[in-house]
Amino acid sequence: MAKRLRRRDDDKHLYVVLDWDMGYVIHKLDVDEFSDSGAGAGAAMFHHLPEPAAVRIEAPVDRSFPAVAAVGSKIVIATHALLEEAPVFMYDTVTSSLSAGPRPSSPLMPGIMVPVDGRRLYALDPRSRSKHYLQVMSPAPRDDPAHESFRLSGRAERWSWESVPSQSPPPFAAGLDAMYVTAYAVHPDGRTVFVSAHNRRGGDDDRRRQGTYALDTARRPAAAWTPLGDWLLPFQGQGHYVDELDAWVGLLEDGRLCSCDVASRRTATSASELGSKITRETLLREDAKTHVGHPSGATLAYMGNGEFCVVECALRRGLDMPDALCAEDGCVLHVTVFGLCYDKAGELRVSARRRGRTYLVSRYNHVVAPKVFWM
């Protein structure tokens, strides 16, 4: 049987996922080609994304709401996350191959998809009343006797979805006043997922509910949520564990970076105990009101060794949304690579030297947020 190729760290690239006029596209970017983009670097030059693209996928895009995530060496694109019958594709960044992925038991959105241990992708829909509110996609073991012919054939991995047994829905999904996920992160143990959620009521509303909960994905036979307190992870969306900082790092709505201590997996804590730190400056280069993508036009990826990439897509200056969508080069895509560290005073700092490029892009669906992965 042929051995699977392995990716060396110096072979990794940035992969950016966008929409195009016939579906979705993945572009492969070489960071060694980026130029300095920090203070004093001069005005940005416009480029076009490299062609040919890594892959283009035909799928209806005008009214779709895709779910995009990465697990292991694969980028998973559910072309319409609100429809369980919509096609799912998997692009392997090592073999440059595209395959049809398994369809989930129920729609993947609205919700989140969280990669765990590089081999499993958990999909959580906290507002679902279905028994499939928590699903996991994983490859079948090659030594599974139920798939003997598959094991001996040397063919590609066989992935499938299954619902994770649970005694009850997560506590933040109970009742008609459902809560919405604001942030999530994986513990450095590689198996515990933290989820923060609130019901979108104002802070002075006595009906406001919020909290953070932990799920041990290795616990069997049934998933169980541990409430950790009525606090929220301080960033928006996905948080990344950074070993050099021993902290989670995520992006705030205004483009600043936020770090916080890793919370306990089993005992309640408070927001003040997380030791949150926020950078002084924003990484965004455009007004958030001009962003293209829901819930944000900016995405953060961790590249290892304290280095990050932020991708920001916005309307080209002087254009409004109706004019920019479906227009050639109607939007800009800023890609910025930077370092992050604590200074001598313990404050969170962005490195003075940054590398990046600005691309002119054509966009077709205003809800499709750009996604970036370092793989």
| Summary mean pLDDT of the chain | 87
Q: Residue 2: its pLDDT value, please?
A: 45
Name the band, by pLDDT with cuts 50, 70 and 90, for residue 173.
Answer: low
pLDDT at 360 over 80: yes
pLDDT at 374 over 50: yes
Measured in Å, how far apart are the chain's first and last C-alpha atoms?
A: 25
**DSSP string over 4-61:** PP---GGG--EEEEEEETTEEEEEEE-GGG-EE-STTS-SPPEE---SS-SEEEE---
Q: Residue 37: its pLDDT value, please?
A: 73
Give me the helices (H) in the chain, please: 148-153, 321-324
For residue range 47-95, list pLDDT tens digits in order.
999 999 999 999 876 667 889 999 999 999 999 888 878 899 999 999 9
Which of 216-220, 264-268, 351-355 is modeled with the greatest confidence? 351-355
Q: What DSSP designation does 234 have?
A: S
Name the band, by pLDDT with cuts 50, 70 and 90, for residue 1.
Answer: very low
User: What is the phi/psi pair of residue 180, to 5°?
Assistant: -115, 140
Integer angstrom CA distances of residue 240 from 41, 51, 180, 327: 28, 30, 20, 35
Percent of the chain with pLDDT over 90: 61
Residue that wins the pLDDT comparison between 184 and 149 = 184
Q: Which amino acid is at 163?
A: S
Q: Residue 225: its pLDDT value, please?
A: 86
For residue range 206-251, list pLDDT tens digits in order.
677 889 999 998 877 777 888 999 999 999 999 999 999 999 999 9
Q: State the Cα–Cα distance between residues 286 and 8, nearest whole angstrom.
A: 34
Q: Residue 74: its pLDDT value, please?
A: 97
Q: Residue 6: its pLDDT value, please?
A: 53
Integer angstrom CA distances of residue 193 from 18, 76, 122, 143, 170: 27, 19, 10, 28, 13
With beta carbons less than 8 A apart as the criterion, state whether 359 and 369 touch.
Answer: no
Q: Is the peptide bond prior to 107 cis by the omega test (within 30 degrees of 0)? A: no
Q: State the Cα–Cα distance between residues 49 and 370, nearest whole angstrom.
A: 13
Residue that wins the pLDDT comparison between 244 and 153 = 244
Q: Residue 286: its pLDDT value, please?
A: 96
Token duo for residue 201: 């009521």
Q: Residue 130: its pLDDT value, please?
A: 66
Name the band, by pLDDT with cuts 50, 70 and 90, for residue 327.
Answer: very high
